[in-house]
Amino acid sequence: MGIWNKLFGGGKKAPPPPALPAAPEPKHLGSEDEAFLAVLVDDLAAGRRRDEVSSPDVLKRIDGVWGSGHERLAIEWMEKLLSVPEVPATATAPLRAQLVERYEQRGELDSAIAHLEGLITDPRYSLRAHYLLAEHARRRGDAERALRHYEAVLGRDVDYPNVRVRVERLRQQVGRAAPVAGETIAAGDVAGITAGARYRLVRELGRGATGVVYLARDMELERDVAVKLLHPHLASTERADQLARFFHEARVMASLRHPNVVAVLDLDEASRRIVMELAAGGTLKDVLRERGPRPLRRAIERHGQVLSALAAAHKRGIVHCDLKPANLMFRRDVDLPGVEVMLGDFGVAHLPDEAGRASASPDQRPKAIEAIGTIAYMSPEQRRGEVSPAADVYASAVVLFENLMARTPWSREVLMSGARKAEDFLLPPEILASAPSVADDIQAHLLRIGDPDPSRRPTTAQALAVSQRLRERLIASS
C-alpha cells in the first residue's frame, strides 16, 4: 500500500479511481503521426505492444499532433490510448502524466481529476499529482481537500514552490492554526507558546515529512534548543505505528553519538516531542541561498563531514533517505573557524530491525520500500523504491555539486523525467581552477559517487577515505 494511501486513508486500501468515460473516437486528419497512433490503438486492443503505450516514440507522435495546432485531437488520442482495457497502470503512467499536463495547459483540469487520482500512488508522479489536485480544490473553494493535498506535497518536498505559504493560509482559513503543543503551527504565530512546562516555543525553523522544528527556550537550563513536534495527523491512535517510529528514530539518532549528527537532548512521548541541540548557524540551504556557492576547499571539507555522519549511520544499518541541504545544519556561523556540519531529520530514514541489528553487508544489500525522500536528491534506484546506503552516497554527490554551484544538476523538467547520467555532475572548469593539481581527482570522485548505477558507486567508507585524501591535498596545495 502506498504511503499516501496510508497517510490519508486511515490504513484502509483506497478505492480505485472512478472509471473514465469512453474516449471519443479521434477525428483523423491523415497525418503520419495519426496513422502510427491508429495502428497502435488496434494493436493494443488485440493484446499486442502493451509495453509501448508510453514509449518515447508514442509521446513524440502525440507531441507532433499537438505541435501542429490540433491540441484537442492530441488529447483525444491520449484518452483513446488510455481507454484500452487491461494495459498495466505502470505502463500508462507516463502517458497519463503527459495528458494531465496538456489539460492543465488548456485550463481544463476538471477533465484530468480521475487521471490525477490514479497518479498519486505512483512515486514518479505523486508529487505533481498532489499539487495539481490541491490547486484544483483551492480554485473551487474546497479548503479542506486543498490543504490535504498541499500537506502531502510538503511531506515529500518541503521546498516545493508556493506550497508552504498556501498551507499556512489554508490552515488559518479552516481554523487549524491555533498554536498548541504538538500541533503544526504557522510560522510567526508561535512566540511564547509552551511545548510542555519546560520549553517555550519562539518561532518555526522548518518542517519535514514527520514534524515541525521550532526554536525554543529550555526554561530549566536557560539555553536555546530545537524542539520537533510530530505532525498531528500522524499522532492519532489509528497511527500508533507512526508515533512509535517517530521515537524509535530519535533513539537511533541519539545512539549515533557522532560530532556530525545532531544531538538528541530529550524525549517526551506524551507530548510527541523531541528536543535537539540548536543549529544556530542555520542550514546549508540557508547558507547557499544567502551567500552563494562555497569555495572548493570548504565544500570538500563539508562533504567529508557528511560522509562521516553517513558512515556512522550505515554501520548501524540506518539509511537516511533524505540527505539534502535543508537537513544539514551548523552549530554556529558557517564562516567561523572549526564549524562542522551536522546531519539531522531522520524522519524518513530506513531503520534497522527491532533488535537494532545492521545487515551483514549494508552497502551491498538494497531493500525494497516505498519511494520516499526529496526527489531532487533521490538516486535512480531510490525512486524505484530500492534503498541501500548507496542511495545516500548518491545524494551526497548532489549535495557536493550544489555546494559548488548553488543549484542541483537538473532543471525541473529533467528532474521530473527521472533521467540520470553520471555526466550530470560535470563541473565547469572555473570551479576547479583554484586547485588544478587536484581538479581531475575531485571531478572523478564526484562522477563515481553520482553514478546512476549503484553497483558502480563506492561504499560509504571508500567515499569517505577519498574525500579525506582530497581535503589533505587541497590543504597541501594552498
- Mean of per-residue pLDDT scores for the chain: 81
pLDDT, one tens digit per residue, over 274-296 is 899 888 888 999 899 888 999 99
Task: Return the pLDDT at 294.
Answer: 92
Which pLDDT band, with edges at 50, 70 and 90, does 355 fall under?
A: very low
Query: Given a cut of 90, is residue 392 above it in pLDDT?
Result: yes
Which long-range contacts (C-beta less than 8 Å, at least 24 apart) are formed by 181-188?
181/229, 181/271, 181/273, 182/229, 182/230, 182/232, 182/235, 182/271, 182/272, 182/273, 183/229, 183/232, 184/211, 184/212, 184/229, 184/231, 184/232, 185/212, 185/214
Tell which residue, 55, 120, 121, has the closest CA to residue 92.
55
Query: Given a cut of 90, is residue 346 above it in pLDDT?
Result: no
pLDDT, one tens digit per residue, over 75-123 is 999 898 888 887 887 788 899 999 999 998 888 989 999 999 888 888 7
Averaged pLDDT for residues 37-56: 86
Task: Quote the CA–CA distance of 414 and 452 in Å, as a whole number.
Answer: 14
Query: Given a cut of 80, is residue 154 above it in pLDDT?
Result: no
Domains and CATH numbers, the chain: 3-173 (1.25.40.10), 199-277 (3.30.200.20), 284-477 (1.10.510.10)
Distances (CA, A) of 99 to 67, 119, 240, 434, 476: 14, 11, 39, 47, 56
pLDDT, one tens digit per residue, over 161-218 is 778 778 778 877 877 543 333 333 333 344 444 555 688 888 777 776 667 888 888 8
Ranked by mean pLDDT, the top range of 71-80, 245-254, 301-310 is 301-310
Task: Return the pLDDT at 113.
Answer: 92
Place of cell 508515533: 243
Q: Is 440 a catalytic residue?
A: no
Task: Quote the CA–CA distance of 310 and 388 in Å, as a whole number.
Answer: 12
Q: Which residue has the higher pLDDT, 375 or 461?
A: 461
Task: Quote the CA–CA distance of 434 and 52 in Å, as a whole number.
Answer: 49
Assess contact for 398 and 452: CB atoms under 8 A: no
Task: Return the pLDDT at 171.
Answer: 77
Catalytic site residue from 157, 322, 363, 392? 322
Which pLDDT band, with edges at 50, 70 and 90, does 362 fall under?
A: very low
Task: Return the pLDDT at 368.
Answer: 54
Within 8 A by CB and 6+ apart from 298, the residues are none
